[in-house]
Structure 1
Amino acid sequence: MALAKLGVIVLDCPDPRALAGFYAGVLGGTVEGEGDWVDLKVPGGQALAFQRAPGFVPPQWPTADASQQLHLDLVVEDLDTAEKGVLELGAKPLAEQGGSSFRVYADPAGHPFCLCAC
């Protein structure tokens, strides 16, 4: 028997509304809220929340002495199309890209995420 159920995944960042907008562009959904806490409601998917963190320092990828702490794996049908879209939305590549079943990026606040082929 589970003791709890997952409510929401929260990403610390300097600008919650801007980062929620980035992920809305990637995942779809509706951005709700203003200020220090913003939610992204994704139809049929896990909700994400974004919390303002004063003094936020983005994680480093890949390095053991400045841990990334977590990353998101986003499943896509076409890596090339998804890559073009996330780059247009402001993502930055974190590794040599192309030819594999996944590609690694940082969102505009610096959190690592992967596009993973189905």
Structure 2
Amino acid sequence: MAVAELGVVVLDCPDPRALARFYAELLGGTVEGAGEGDWVDLKLPGGRALAFQAAPGYVPPQWPAPGHSQQFHLDLNVPDLDAAEEAVLGLGAKPLDTEDRSRNWRVYADPAGHPFCLCAC
């Protein structure tokens, strides 16, 4: 029997509203709590959620950098890597790994610097 149930994944960032809008454009869903404050929720289709929390002095993770752990990353499944790449770059993501285009995944950073992968499904 499980002790707990995952509630929400929270990303620290300098601007919760801006990062929530980025992920809403990428994943769909509804941004909630976007008024004043340090916390914003993104309610995703299917009942899942991501949350964004203001972090004074936020320093983005480095990838790849063994001495500066990324802490976590999101794997996002997509049906077409090339089309998804064009979309995320248009939303403000930055490519982190463009060397091997033969793989079925690609690595990017969101506007606050969190790494995420687009994975062909």
TM-score band (shorter)? over 0.9
Alignment partner of 1:108 is 2:95: no
Alpha-carbon shift at residue 45 of structure 1 (Å): 5.0
Q: TM-score, normalised by structure 2?
A: 0.95
The code of the aligned residue for 1:79 comes to: L
Aligned partner of 2:54 in structure 1 is 52
Aligned partner of 1:39 in structure 2 is 41
Q: TM-score, normalised by structure 1?
A: 0.97
Alpha-carbon shift at residue 99 of structure 1 (Å): 2.6
Aligned partner of 1:9 in structure 2 is 9
What are structure 1's unaligned runs of at least 5 residues?
none
The code of the aligned residue for 1:108 comes to: P
Moved over 2 A (4+): none
Alpha-carbon shift at residue 96 of structure 1 (Å): 1.2
Seq. identity, %:
75
Alignment CA distance shift 1:14-1:32 (3 Å) = same
Aligned length: 118
The code of the aligned residue for 1:40 comes to: L
Partner SS for 1:94: strand
